[in-house]
Structure 1
Amino acid sequence: MRRHQPPLLPGTPQRVPRALRWLGTLLALLTLCTALHAQGVDLAGLRVKRADGELALDYQARLSLSPSIEEALHRGVPLYFTAQAAVYRNRWYWRDERVARVNRTWRVAYQPLTAQWRVSLGGLSQVYGSLSEALAPLSRVSGWRIADGEKLESGERYYVEFSFRLDSSQLPPPMQVDIGSDWKLGVERTVRVD
Structure 2
Amino acid sequence: MQQVTMTAFTTHFCKSWLRELKPRSRMLASCLQVLLLAATLAFLALPASHAQQHSNQAPGEIKDFRLTESSEGLLLTTTMRFDLPEQVEDALYKGIAMYFVAEAQVVRERWYWSDRMVAQATRHMRLSYQPLTRRWRLSQSSTPFSDSGLGVSLGQNFDELGDALAVMQRITRWSVAPADALDGSGQQILHFQFRLDMSQLPRPLQLSTVGRSGWNLLLSRSVRLTGNTVESEK
Say whether the 8 Å CA contact 1:47–1:191 is kept in structure 2: no
**Which protein has the larger Cα radius of gyration, Structure 1 or Structure 2?**
2
Aligned residues, how many?
Answer: 162
Say whether the 8 Å CA contact 1:109–1:118 is kept in structure 2: yes
Q: Say whether residues 1:111 and 2:143 are aligned partners.
A: no
Post-superposition shift, 1:93?
3.5
Aligned mates of 2:131, 2:87 — CA distance in 1: 17
Q: Which of 200, 216, 222 is residue 184 of structure 1 equivalent to?
A: 216
Structure 1 residue runs of 5 or longer lacking an equivalent are 1-31
Q: Which of 155, 162, 165 is residue 132 of structure 1 equivalent to?
A: 162
Matches within 5 A, 1:53-92: 54-92=73-111
Deviations 1:41-99 (A, max 9, x none): 32112222212261111111112112211111111100001000000123333322211
Say whether the 8 Å CA contact 1:76–1:111 is kept in structure 2: yes
Q: Which of 179, 186, 192 is residue 149 of structure 1 equivalent to?
A: 179
Q: 1:39 to 1:52 in 2, by over 3 A?
A: closer
Structure 2 residue runs of 5 or longer lacking an equivalent are 1-49, 142-152, 227-234
Aligned mates of 1:45, 1:125 — CA distance in 2: 25
Say whether the 8 Å CA contact 2:76–2:175 is kept in structure 1: yes
Post-superposition shift, 1:156?
5.6
Question: What secondary structure, in the 3-state scheme, does the structure 1 residue paired with 2:106 have?
Answer: strand
Higher strand share: 1
Question: What secondary structure, in the 3-state scheme, does the structure 1 residue paired with 2:183 have?
Answer: coil
Higher helix share: 2
Post-superposition shift, 1:148?
0.7
